[in-house]
Amino acid sequence: MKLHLRVWRQTSAEDRGRFEDYELDDVSPDSSFLEMLDLLNEQLLEQRKMPVAFDHDCREGICGMCGLMVDGMAHGPIPGHTVCQLHMRHFKDGDRIVIEPWRVAAFPVVQDLVVDRGSFDRILQHGGFISFATGTAPEANSILIPKDRADTAMDAATCIGCGACAAACPNGSATLFTAAKVGHLGHLPQGQPERYQRVVGMVDQMDAEGFGGCTNVGACTSVCPKEIGQDFISQMNRDYRRAMLGGAGD
């Protein structure tokens, strides 16, 4: 299939950046979106031009490295997929596709489609952990966790930190990411001792990084490749309220 691509090009963080148009022929419908970009880069290299920089690693939808705004939608038009798992069979011959990096102040563009998601790491550094005397692995059944609790914690823990939530949010908010990380540990017994310090530390860091506030629109969940739900945001709000206004002692 033949595609008309409009790709954001930016040589460095200081560069103002611009869109460039490319024509790409012989794209296999079975290739992934990133393989299509590989093909584009081979074509650019043959023309002695700079290839398009984009983040990727596992290409199996589990690492959280890739993430592009494909035609105005984070990770493209298929729900529950990272862009590496988006296949070209979902596009038609002759399609025009606009490809942009995440547009969030807290994710500055490094080059072309690569953004710096260090802000997510710093949110995690402010509470996304448990303090634990490390050593040999403890006996698995020494702390009993009800199945539904473990499942809920696992639902939150599926967050791969790709940043699509903030990218698709009309407010550029990282609330779903932070809520998933807060909820993942907050649902487990091991996470209880630091539960309320954690939520305050992570939410304050989220604000300090310059992310927007949540307006409960739900765009984040719609684009999340792991389909993490709005309930985690509600639960994070509840924990934050208890930490601030009392009720955190129970």
Partner 1 sequence: MWRSSIGKKIIMAGTGLIWIGYLLLHMYGNLKVFAGQEAFNHYAESLRTLGEPMVGHGHALLLARVVLTLTLVAHIWAAVALTRIAQQARPVGYAKFRPASGNYATVTMRWGGLALGLFILYHLAHLTWNVRVLTGAYEPGNTFDKLVVGFNNPVNVVLYLLALMAVGFHLWHGGASFFQTMGWRIAASRQWIRVLTGSLAVAIPVGFAVVPLAVAAGWVA
By CB under 8 A, name the binding residues for partner 1: 6, 8, 19, 69, 71-74, 98, 100, 103-106, 168, 170-173, 175, 203-204, 206-207, 210-223, 229-231, 233-241, 244-245
Nearest 5 degrees, angle CA 123-CA 126-CA 131? 130
User: Quick one: 28 or 197, whose CB is closer to partner 1?
Assistant: 197
User: Quick one: 94 or 246, whose CB is closer to partner 1?
Assistant: 246
- Beta carbons of 119 and 132 less than 8 angstroms apart: no
User: Quick one: 59 or 98, whose CB is closer to partner 1?
Assistant: 98
Least distance between partner 1 and beta carbon 4 (Å): 13
User: Quick one: 158 or 230, whose CB is closer to partner 1?
Assistant: 230
Least distance between partner 1 and beta carbon 21 (Å): 12
- Look up residue 52 and give its DSSP letter: P
Least distance between partner 1 and beta carbon 74 (Å): 7
User: Quick one: 111 or 173, whose CB is closer to partner 1?
Assistant: 173
Least distance between partner 1 and beta carbon 203 (Å): 6
User: Quick one: 84 or 106, whose CB is closer to partner 1?
Assistant: 106
User: Quick one: 43 or 237, whose CB is closer to partner 1?
Assistant: 237
Least distance between partner 1 and beta carbon 87 (Å): 19
Instruction: Give the whole-angstrom CA distance, residue 24 versus residue 73.
Output: 21
**Residue partners of 126: CB distance under 8 A and separation at least 6:** 201, 202, 204, 205
Least distance between partner 1 and beta carbon 218 (Å): 4
Least distance between partner 1 and beta carbon 134 (Å): 32
- Beta carbons of 24 and 3 less than 8 angstroms apart: yes
Instruction: Give the whole-angstrom CA distance, residue 207 versus residue 173.
Output: 9
Four-residue CA torsion sign, 100, 102, 106, 108? negative
- Look up residue 200 and give its DSSP letter: H
CA 26 vs. chain centroid, Å, equals 31
Instruction: Give the whole-angstrom CA distance, residue 35 versus residue 27.
Output: 9
Structure tokens at 232: 């985690």
CA distances from 239 to 5, 51, 126, 186 (A): 45, 46, 16, 9
